[in-house]
């Protein structure tokens, strides 16, 4: 049987801090095939970014300790020697970071930063690398790239810097692109341009995209399959249409009800999720969402719910059927 492109199972990331052990990622599993877009959605601190940093060996140790398996074409990214992962990182699996202002080196020109990738991974000569870099900038829609390429990052606007980041990530034609909040720092019209660009490049190259975001609008527009994370765990996964139509975890349901939508009549009362996001160093013994959950039962506070299979192809980690149970009135702290 051929190997899956990327198969992550039971990934755990712990940070040993003075406050005790913080389990940022707790048993996360997912897989992705070429041409697919997988969404990872969750709030700050839910472990969505850390789990992907861990895949690329970017979690510093100490204090971070990573366990589990992450098979990339059958080879485990978590146990392979440093030399091997450096050959994959940036070449086969590339990453776009959230903040284009801080993830480019302000002291180097865009040309320096773009050519470094291909010279290192593809063995390009300086001339080849520069031609390739100009070509990539053209593809991501930067006007007069042969001139702009010698500019420094501060001479570019936020949207252009994100395009440079995308050009850099895609210049070795990676198999997997991890995009960590790629449009969060951008304005809506620019966000739409960047998402179009990613979709177009995916269609042309068959790249698999892992899209990390907290924005349900981005998820709806981009993803095939979605994993919802809360406090380091996946609480629900489903094909995108199903997740929005029939959410099965109370957290997903709460998230969808709490966002205002441009296509709804104004003044509709929002239903926020009560309480505050959990403190990862002091998680409750049972389900981490139980203290905020309007559906919780006694069992939820004692036992962590495993992922149950939904009849229609998704999975969810909840003891209660939210479709047949009435929620309690929210009690806000």
The piece of 4-12, 57-65, 265-273, 301-309 that touches other proteins (CB under 8 A) is 265-273
User: Per-residue x/- marks for other proteins, 23-52, CB under 8 A?
Assistant: --------------------xx--------
What is the edge-to-edge ordering of all strands in the sheet holding 176-180? 93-96, 176-180, 208-213, 37-41, 225-230, 233-239, 315-316, 308-309
Cα–Cα dist 182/210, whole Å: 11
Q: Which residue has the tokens 């309007």?
A: 294
89: CB partners within 8 A, 6+ apart: 56, 57
Instruction: Specify the residue, 127 or 147, whose C-beta has the smaller distance to other proteins.
Output: 147
Size of the site for other proteins (CB under 8 A): 49
- Is 101 among the residues that bind other proteins (CB under 8 A)? no
- Is 268 among the residues that bind other proteins (CB under 8 A)? yes
Binder among 260, 282, 323, 331 for other proteins (CB under 8 A): 260
Buried b / exposed e along 220-229 (16+ C-beta atoms within 10 A): ebbbebbbbb
Instruction: Specify the residue, 86 or 271, whose C-beta has the smaller distance to other proteins.
Output: 271
Cα–Cα dist 95/179, whole Å: 6
Residue 100 DSSP one-character state:
T
Instruction: Specify the residue, 45 or 90, whose C-beta has the smaller distance to other proteins.
Output: 45
User: Per-residue x/- marks for other proteins, 103-142, CB under 8 A?
Assistant: ----------------------------------------
Binder among 35, 158, 284, 327 for other proteins (CB under 8 A): 158
Cβ 50 vs Cβ 59: under 8 Å: yes
Pairing of strands 64-72, 6-17: antiparallel
Binding site for other proteins (CB under 8 A): 43-44, 157-160, 187-193, 196, 214-221, 240-241, 244-245, 254-256, 258-263, 265-274, 276-277, 332-333
């Amino acid at each position: 049987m051929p190997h899956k492109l990327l198969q992550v199972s039971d990934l755990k990331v712990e940070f040993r801090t003075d406050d005790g052990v913080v389990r940022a990622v707790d048993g996360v599993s997912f897989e992705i095939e070429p041409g697919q877009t997988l969404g990872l959605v969750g709030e700050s601190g839910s472990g969505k970014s850390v789990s992907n940093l861990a895949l690329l060996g970017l979690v510093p140790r100490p204090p971070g300790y990573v366990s589990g398996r992450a098979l990339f074409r059958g080879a485990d990214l978590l146990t392979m020697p440093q030399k091997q992962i450096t050959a994959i990182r940036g070449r086969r699996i590339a990453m776009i970071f959230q903040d284009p202002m801080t993830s480019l080196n302000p002291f180097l020109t865009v040309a320096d930063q773009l050519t470094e990738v291909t010279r290192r991974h593809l063995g390009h000569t300086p001339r080849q690398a520069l031609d390739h870099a100009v070509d990539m900038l053209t593809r991501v829609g930067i006007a007069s790239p042969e001139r702009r390429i010698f500019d420094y990052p501060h001479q570019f606007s936020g949207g252009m810097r994100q395009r440079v980041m995308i050009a850099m990530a895609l210049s070795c034609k990676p198999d997997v692109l991890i995009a960590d909040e790629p449009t969060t720092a951008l304005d809506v019209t620019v966000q739409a341009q960047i998402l179009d660009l990613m979709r177009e490049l995916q269609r042309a190259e068959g790249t698999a995209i892992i899209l990390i975001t907290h924005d349900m609008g981005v998820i709806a527009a981009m993803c095939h399959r979605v994993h919802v994370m809360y406090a380091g765990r996946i609480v629900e996964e489903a094909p995108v249409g199903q997740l929005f139509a029939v959410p099965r975890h109370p957290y997903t349901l709460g998230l969808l009800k709490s966002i205002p939508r441009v296509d709804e009549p104004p003044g509709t009362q929002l239903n926020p999720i009560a309480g505050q996001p959990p403190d990862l160093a002091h998680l409750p013994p049972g389900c981490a969402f139980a203290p905020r959950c309007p559906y919780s039962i006694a069992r939820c506070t004692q036992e962590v719910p495993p992922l149950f299979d939904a009849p229609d192809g998704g999975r969810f980690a909840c003891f209660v059927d939210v479709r047949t149970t009435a929620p309690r009135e929210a009690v806000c702290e």
